[in-house]
Structure 1
């Protein structure tokens, strides 16, 4: 039970009060000209599916004339290759001779002792070694965003990096599913652009305007600055890839930063270890996205390289977009899981916090992967959410779950060890889908986050395969492997 507290409708027991350090102007929408009506939020870079961001390339070599060898050099090279070839031939003959001798001796010894030799190539299913090009980089950052289309089909975009450092996405659409075959819902992956190895990713969905005009906003870090791009025209076979205006801001990120986002908020770690957030300066009257941003220091010291999870604290986008509209889960300097809701003491707070941040004591492996999502709390008059957080176990290759149980009225934090989340790869990331919300705008009514837990999906690597798990009948079930080729 939470301790007694002074009666204040804007605070709940156990909530961490983090002062707002950027004043009123940071959190409130800004009035700007309606310069993005009926158009993409950002300018399109190119229609190519192979985009290369110059700032991301680890090395650049301008083209030049090939360097030719002189005749004297060519003659010396030929002699050198003759010598090398002769030496190799001698070694091959010698190796074959010795191999035959020792091979026959080994066979004779095995026969005489009655033992049978076996190959070490055989391995168990949990330690299968794959060969050839792999479709995803081991330990690749993962992020997912999605929406429910006007035809009511679910569409999601899963972002990751392949071993050649290409950022990619795989699109899932329930309109493409074959009965009983979840893998058939996935389209072939699409290339986006080259990036530094291990680039952190964070994706979220923008809904605004006619038929909610969905766009996917993706943030990443490069050259120690926050970067971003945008996918629009999602109804097309190949959505357009747009440069994002956040690039122009040059917000500095820490060298080991991770990212997490739920529109219009993005959280990252600065060079001092403190957490920062970025918020789109939505138009005040319509909450329409614009090409300008706010930035603020949350004053939260986190473990260097802490993974992050951002979840909305309300189902109502008008409240999500203001102070206290999101919670960030992170790993503190004691390696424990922690959570904060920014600005709870602010006079700009316009929501009832959904739950206490007095979570159970959970010690995590260093830089342990985190992911989370929120769903509407059924029948809640204050439009609060229930929240689910996935994290890597400290002692076993399993993913555990921290969640709020509000069945008794007052939400309580509980933990679980779902069977479908066990036996994951040692170097993984986690990603979970929170459905988007939208304000009433441009002829469309407001769209809140729903209470359909069955839309929940999370992703991680298991056995070298990118795996999806879904919520079904009160538990997680494996939805199948993400189609990668």
Structure 2
């Protein structure tokens, strides 16, 4: 598990009840928050995309490559209107030797309730239930009213009321297994946050955020000691609280050691642009691609990096999971990174 140098921890408070899930599928709301996770199982893969409906209920849609079909869940639970969503996943075998019956991919969702407290919702995707409130929820961690969220297991990033960035880490060397500390960085109020691997085996993580002067920044987080260092300051003209997301893939012809990072953001004209780092020359772009045409202005953007975990599960080369999602005329558009180009997979159609 990752280690951290700060000494702050979270303490649980009185748990609050979570609304019971209801049936029905009102559909994705306009400019809904979006988040995505996915994993490989042999030659097959799984994708989960989460969004919010018009009545503030959280739903997710699930894709299994084996069936080549999307399926939509009934309502899961309620979040505050427009709550940020951070979806991630892990394989239970990462935490010990399990039998085939107890080895599965657990999906984790983080969101805000009506009082801007950080909530966790988790479920076993092999089970037909709609999950349950997780062990982080009783800590009632307060966030800023406009805070965004980011997660790549076991890390969660949020913004406090003073606009400071914090991380919560699942690490059972600490009481209750949850660790919370400030990153001593200030972000733009209500701006997106991203966390993706910067190196294989999660040796370093890349935290991307918008600074108070609207500049896009990235921090390297060393997973051995928790130390942070400035990785990049981008010169792109990013609108205030613009939508952005990122994904990481294994660099071709690198013996699976080096990783490439792609950052997608929406400019003031509503165009989705890409900047990327895929060789020793540093960051390139911005550039846009036909696959991003017609994106709704103000859409959320969610990008998928394969679930990985320290030495147990490194990122795999030629992963089919290099995808991003955004809305076009209210519909959910799926695009895929194909080498150096982006192609439209299609608009997602799911059935209950």
With normalisation by structure 1, the TM-score equals 0.63
> d(CA) in 1 for partners of 2:163 and 2:265?
21
Structural mapping, 1:26-425, within 5 Å: 49-50=21-22, 135-150=27-42, 152-177=43-68, 185-209=69-93, 210=98, 213-222=104-113, 223-232=115-124, 234-236=125-127, 238-282=128-172, 292-317=177-202, 319=203, 325-342=204-221, 348=225, 357-378=231-252, 380=254, 383-394=257-268, 396-406=269-279, 410-415=280-285, 416-425=287-296
Q: Shift in Å at residue 292 of structure 1?
A: 2.2
Does structure 2 conserve the Cα–Cα contact (< 8 Å) formed by 1:335 and 1:365?
yes
Structure 2 residues not aligned, in runs of 5+: 10-16
Normalized per residue, which structure has more strand? 2
Q: Shift in Å at residue 255 of structure 1?
A: 0.4
- Match of residue 23 from structure 1: 5
Q: Shift in Å at residue 23 of structure 1?
A: 2.8
Q: Shift in Å at residue 454 of structure 1?
A: 3.7
Structure label with greater radius of gyration: 1
> d(CA) in 2 for partners of 1:453 and 1:447?
13
Does structure 2 conserve the Cα–Cα contact (< 8 Å) formed by 1:425 and 1:463?
yes
Structure 1 residues not aligned, in runs of 5+: 1-21, 28-44, 52-132, 178-184, 285-289, 320-324, 441-445
Deviations 1:126-180 (A, max 9, x none): xxxxxxx962111111000111124x31111100001121110000111112xxx
> d(CA) in 2 for partners of 1:26 and 1:377?
36
Deviations 1:191-231 (A, max 9, x none): 20122211110011112314652111110012121111102
> d(CA) in 1 for partners of 2:310 and 2:195?
20
Q: Shift in Å at residue 242 of structure 1?
A: 2.3
- Match of residue 297 from structure 2: 426
Does structure 2 conserve the Cα–Cα contact (< 8 Å) formed by 1:226 and 1:253?
yes
Q: Shift in Å at residue 250 of structure 1?
A: 1.8
Q: Against the structure 1 CA distance between its residues 294 and 139, is the aligned structure 2 distance closer, same or farther, given a 3 Å change threshold?
A: same
Q: Against the structure 1 CA distance between its residues 213 and 257, is the aligned structure 2 distance closer, same or farther, given a 3 Å change threshold?
A: same
For the aligned residues, what is the CA RMSD?
2.9
Equivalent residue of 1:420, what SS? helix
Q: Against the structure 1 CA distance between its residues 49 and 249, is the aligned structure 2 distance closer, same or farther, given a 3 Å change threshold?
A: closer
How many residues are treated as equivalent by the alignment?
A: 330
Normalized per residue, which structure has more helix? 1
Q: Shift in Å at residue 348 of structure 1?
A: 2.4
With normalisation by structure 2, the TM-score equals 0.85
Does structure 1 conserve the Cα–Cα contact (< 8 Å) formed by 2:210 and 2:241?
yes
> d(CA) in 2 for partners of 1:309 and 1:230?
20
Does structure 2 conserve the Cα–Cα contact (< 8 Å) formed by 1:316 and 1:383?
no
